[in-house]
Structure 1
Amino acid sequence: MFHRENSEEKDDEVFVAWKQQRRVSESKSSDDGSKLKVPAQTGPDRMTRRRSTFKGVASTVTSVFNMRKMSKARQSLSNHGDGKPKFRYENTYRIGPDSGKTVNTNSIETVVKDILELRLAKETYSSDTCSSIACDLAILIKNTVKDLGFPRYKIITNVLLSQRGTQSMQTASRCLWDASTDNFSHVTYCNGTICAVVLKDMVDRYRLFIAP
């Protein structure tokens, strides 16, 4: 009986000692694991890892852009009802008047003379009213000449009214143009008290933008 109890006590002591030793070994292993450090990669291994990382990022970005382009292309095709691409043509510019649409000064001078005779035949010179009459004549003459059919021309009208007496008067003008297409007309009308001078310049619109 005594021998049996001693053996059981020895077994208990051995078990307790084994358990304590196991705890000590586990604590040491945990301490060693916490103190372990991953060695830094240097040299070719580190460069290879960086390159592989950059390649992965670049491939991801490229795939995202390609997907966006494909989605935009699908949206554009869906917006077109028939699915056909739209063609974009270059602009066509005209640098001169149409054929047969150049200025005819004879017809312009005839129209201007008729307007002056109808408007000034019974008019008497007055410094108070002649300024407004000159403005009205300029607008009327310009609109009438436009109706003759010169779509690409800029029409400039100058009307000068003066008192008719013993004095002399001279007018002059200057313009930059192309002699083959641009032109001018000059009409003079006088009654008992008024002398009217109308000068019209017809310049192609293209030259108005390129003139210095």
Structure 2
Amino acid sequence: MLAKMKASAEQDIEKKTPDLKPVLITERKFSVYDKKEKDNVTVSDKSRNSITVPAKRVPPKVPQPRGSLSGMLATKKFFKRLSKKQRAASTVSVPAKQYEPTYRMEPKVHYNEKTVYDIVKELIDEKLEGMIYSKKYSGNLTKIISNQIKEKVKALHYDRYRIVCNVMLGENRGATVLATSRCAWDPKTDNFTSYSFQSKHLFCNVSVFAVYKE
């Protein structure tokens, strides 16, 4: 009895439900609205996990000045301090003169020891007569005397002679002083002059060497 009731119920259900057949969709027609959405699709719509970052705009390169403002001001101040002569000397370079060799082994005018001795004696006696020794001024005084002697000897126009002047100045306390000098030179052309001065307060020894340069 139950089996007959189940079979009749299943037949009623089959009669009420229509037959479902599989439908194959081959083509989909897009509406106007669907086409607009398709055209406006972005990368973010395709893949939600990916993030699009807008590219940074690179500013145009501006040419920078080669020197800084502080450097330009320092250079301007430096050139203002220079005199006109120093500016001309720094900008204009004079080439050195080059002479051809003469192959002359002896001087035209030989060094005269007596003439130089008289010049040195006159200058030393004039400078140091009646002077009192001072540690403070003795160093500068020897430089002044040495330069003045060289200028006067060079004024004699000894051609191709190198003049070397040595001045020794000290306080006179009754002690003896021994000064010696040794040089390697040619006795035919080279020569020297020596003069010593002594007073109650100080003593001075001057040596002038004249070395001939071929």
The TM-score range, normalised by the shorter chain, is 0.5 to 0.7
1:98-142 per-position Cα deviation (integer Å, ceiling 9, x unaligned): 1xx101101100110000011111311011111100000000001
1:185 alignment partner in structure 2:
193
Of 84, 96, 102, the match for 1:92? 102
Of 173, 177, 189, the match for 2:181? 173
The amino acid of 2:176's aligned partner reads: S
1:205 alignment partner in structure 2:
213
* Structure number with bigger Rg: 2
Of 128, 133, 139, the match for 1:125? 133
1:112 alignment partner in structure 2:
120
The amino acid of 1:159's aligned partner reads: V
Displacement after TM superposition at 1:91 (Å): 4.1
**Aligned: 1:154 with 2:156:** no
What's the TM-score once normalised by structure 2's chain length? 0.52
Displacement after TM superposition at 1:205 (Å): 1.5
Structure 1 segment 136-155 matched on structure 2, within 5 A: 136-155=144-163
* Distance of 2:102 and 2:113 partners within structure 1: 29
3-state DSSP of counterpart to 1:131: helix
Displacement after TM superposition at 1:143 (Å): 0.5
Structure 1 segment 12-31 matched on structure 2, within 5 A: none
The amino acid of 2:186's aligned partner reads: D
| Alignment coverage as a number of residue pairs | 115
3-state DSSP of counterpart to 1:149: coil
Displacement after TM superposition at 1:189 (Å): 0.8
Displacement after TM superposition at 1:94 (Å): 2.2
Q: Which runs of 5+ in 2 are unaligned?
A: 1-99
The amino acid of 1:97's aligned partner reads: P
Q: Which runs of 5+ in 1 are unaligned?
A: 1-89, 207-212
The amino acid of 1:155's aligned partner reads: I
Higher helix share: 1
What's the TM-score once normalised by structure 1's chain length? 0.52
3-state DSSP of counterpart to 1:162: strand
Identity %: 29
The amino acid of 2:172's aligned partner reads: R
